[in-house]
Structure 1
Amino acid sequence: MAKYIGLMSGTSMDGVDAVLCDITQTFCTTLAAHSTPYSNELLSALNALCTEGPDELNSLAIADRLVAETFARVTLELLERNDLTASDITAIGSHGQTVRHHPNADVLSAHFTKSSVRGFTCQIGDPNTIATLTGIDVIADFRRKDIALGGQGAPLVPAFHNAIFASSETYRALVNIGGIANVSLLSPRHEGLAPRGFDIGPGNRLMDQWISLYLNESFDRDGAWAASGSPHSGLLQQLLLDDYFQLPAPKSTGREYFNIDWLSNTLADYFPSSTALDGEEASNNLAPKDVQATLLALTGETIARDIKTYLPQVNKCGEASEVIICGGGAFNKALLAYLVDALDNYKVSDSFTLGMHPQHVEGAAFAWFAHAYVNDIPGNVPEVTGASKATVLGALFKKA
């Protein structure tokens, strides 16, 4: 076995995760993990970079270095806590911090005509800086090769999920609920089939933003605030009509699309103000806690609906299937209860049952992607991303 470290910060930007793994071709064992938050200054800058604004280029270049320094610091702290040195690690797999994701070229530019605009994704966190500060080779820039091949560049994790979590006999849906929710549909190993997968839609991001607005909390612990309210069926149905939910896979999305502005456009029908962002009570007997309950139902309903639609297409025999939840959403008790109820024909559990902490799965994925690069293993799945072919992902940034 070889030791790798995976570095990950997702769309919620709630901290940088470093996950230490022992990896072989068929096993990925998490040995330890460590997390650290961004500084308030950097977090504010990163949130600003996710939307168009002034001074973007300078801010992006500075944040690129500061994110890398944060990634390097959490790596060094992880090594120290586990009595390891840089020489014990084969490589670091760094996802970076996504600040823009527009694979469908759905943006406008003052400098380019619409026909000239190309799809792109942008992750920052300079791997040269990480390699220099840690003394460890870094594999990074995993998404852009897939986009160059005509793919979405996301989700990438189905390749990892299939390599490590596919069962010898059971069909599985592995659902990661981070800021955005995505799903990997896994057939039993003996079938030798590629996984399927796609981004479902909002995971925790909208709920986190809404509770921050009204209660100044960074997240809804256990889904308690959502559980204190009642989902509004009319609002839920309006949200479910969004075009993204009707699109066929392959598809991917992010906070550029599902954000507080997207929500407020619909909430304008329920709140007296035009923005619904003034901390006020709603009309039509819709309280802020009911909006939170509706957002939880939106996440739960879109996950359940897509599993019930797409998993039977993989599991054509109708055999018993499992649904495994990972990511921060695995700790939202109200959301888990919603999914258990909505998916009553499936066995629903979290990734602890597969031997991995739900919060460590994504970090472990990018440790595995570093392993895949070193061992010349394709990291994308064309059936998932829409790329023209499978290929090794990433680029090597040697230690100084």
Structure 2
Amino acid sequence: MHPHIEKLHAIANKKTRLIVGLMSGTSLDGLDIALCELSGSGSSTECNLVDFTTVDYCDDYRRNVKAIFAKPEGSLEHLCLLNPWVARYHAKLVNQAIQGFGYKNTDIDLIASHGQTIYHSPKVQHQYEHFPNATLQIGDGDHIAVLTDIITLSDFRQKHIAAGGQGAPLVMYGDYLLFHSSIENRIMLNIGGIANLTYLPSKGDISKVFSSDIGPGNTIMDAFIQTISSKLHYDDGAKVASAGSIHQGLLMELARSDFFAQSFPKTTGPEVFNLEYLHSAQKSADATDLSNEDVMATLCDFTAKCIVDSIVTLGQSLPDLSVYVSGGGLHNPLLMRRIQIRLSNKLPHTKISSTTQLSVNPDAKEAVLFALLANETLCATGPKLKATELNMPQITMGKLSFPD
């Protein structure tokens, strides 16, 4: 047996495993690094978040990624160069984080790296008859493994597409294992660049559970605020949006995308919801002369509308529904207030709080879930959880990279 396989076998048989989960989202704000202690697998999984940090990206990282991010055309050379460059940058941050957590790299069993999404294009979006669903994450796992000297799993989304899924969102499996309740109907809402949710009714098996993107989270707001000032990456404290008023005509135009008519589960990205989408809606609404504050206020309410409309559609038949929020949008006070107002008007008995109430850091949740996927890849035994093809094919995700 090859020593690498022997090591994997030994890790899989350990009582507990230390796995570093990495998440770099479409907001391009920073790398989420979650150090997790995991034991068991499947429904017997136990996961403890040992430590967590988000390392802000430098301007050079943002500039290089934005040169090709979510664009249908760009430099093939730049894309080729970025693939190892992103990985090496992430590896450097991981090495620093492990040391900051008080551990050595030799203490870590696995790294689970999401990579950096560059382009996401499900078939319903690109509409080319002879091409399948597609997505691309860069930050090659081989470079991370070599530079950290830790076995690395990466590129999780490709298997999901190969098995009939759309490549996103992938949170359903982890949300089900960690958060499903037999006594409470739950929706796990994550507000990143794109907003997504996992539907967790208390009754029924995993075939009733699914994850779906539901529209823009922070992506258009962040993109617009960056046109106001090169020093702003997001509307800190919603100061700009809070100074404006909602333009109802623009709000209605923003809500006209064909995406919202698609059934669940579905997926989207900044390839659809971007500044071009905003500018087109402004022209249609005769709202091209709005103040920056009014544009931001309207974009904020647009995100709230997308989120609440989806929650209402899914939750109107569920009594005592609880919504647990994670992701960067949780820190936008105006957005959370608008969600609460809209939700109270339509589902007044719905409770909304952060995943802190479930003992999970809301900023760390997605990184934790990728660590959990890596744990399943290595340690799952017995029959897989039953699931429909549309939400989570019965597959093992992640490509293995060895340090040597």
Q: Does 1:9 align with 2:28?
A: no
The one-character-per-residue Cα deviations of 1:334-365 (angstroms, maximum 9, x if unpaired) are 11111222222211111111112211111111
1:260 to 264, 272, 275: 275
After TM superposition, the structure 1 = structure 2 runs for residues 308-323 of structure 1, keeping only pairs within 5 Å, are 308-312=312-316, 315=318, 318=319, 320-323=320-323
TM-score normalised per structure 2: 0.88
Alignment-mate amino acid for residue 45 of structure 1? N
> 1:279 corresponds to which residue?
none
Q: Flag the 1:119–1:191 CA change in 2: closer, same or farther, 3 A.
A: closer
Contact in 2 for aligned 1:145/1:393 (Cα 8 Å): yes
After TM superposition, the structure 1 = structure 2 runs for residues 183-222 of structure 1, keeping only pairs within 5 Å, are 183-188=197-202, 191-194=204-207, 195-216=209-230, 217-222=232-237
Task: Name the SS for the 2:67 alignment partner.
Answer: helix
In 2, Cα distance between equivalents of 1:158 and 1:338: 26
> 2:332 corresponds to which residue?
332
In 2, Cα distance between equivalents of 1:255 and 1:271: 23
Greater shift after overlay, 247-256 or 378-387?
A: 378-387
The one-character-per-residue Cα deviations of 1:228-256 (angstroms, maximum 9, x if unpaired) are 11111111111112111111112100111
Alignment-mate amino acid for residue 48 of structure 2? T
Q: Does 1:156 align with 2:170?
A: yes
Task: Name the SS for the 1:236 alignment partner.
Answer: helix
Task: Name the SS for the 1:358 alignment partner.
Answer: coil
Q: Flag the 1:381–1:360 CA change in 2: closer, same or farther, 3 A.
A: farther
Q: Does 1:369 align with 2:373?
A: yes
Please list every run of 5 or more consecutive structure 2 residues that lacks an aligned counterpart in the other structure. 1-15
Q: Flag the 1:160–1:381 CA change in 2: closer, same or farther, 3 A.
A: farther
Task: Name the SS for the 1:67 alignment partner.
Answer: helix
Q: CA deviation at 1:312?
A: 3.8
TM-score normalised per structure 1: 0.88
Q: CA deviation at 1:215?
A: 4.1
The one-character-per-residue Cα deviations of 1:169-191 (angstroms, maximum 9, x if unpaired) are 11111110000000001123x74
Contact in 2 for aligned 1:8/1:18 (Cα 8 Å): yes
In 1, Cα distance between equivalents of 2:385 and 2:155: 13
Greater shift after overlay, 261-270 or 233-242?
A: 261-270
> 2:248 corresponds to which residue?
233
Contact in 2 for aligned 1:372/1:379 (Cα 8 Å): no
Give the aligned length: 377
> 2:342 corresponds to which residue?
342
2:82 to 47, 63, 73: 63
Q: CA deviation at 1:127?
A: 0.2
Contact in 1 for aligned 2:163/2:395 (Cα 8 Å): no
Q: CA deviation at 1:117?
A: 2.8
> 2:307 corresponds to which residue?
303
Contact in 2 for aligned 1:7/1:19 (Cα 8 Å): yes
2:298 to 294, 297, 300: 294
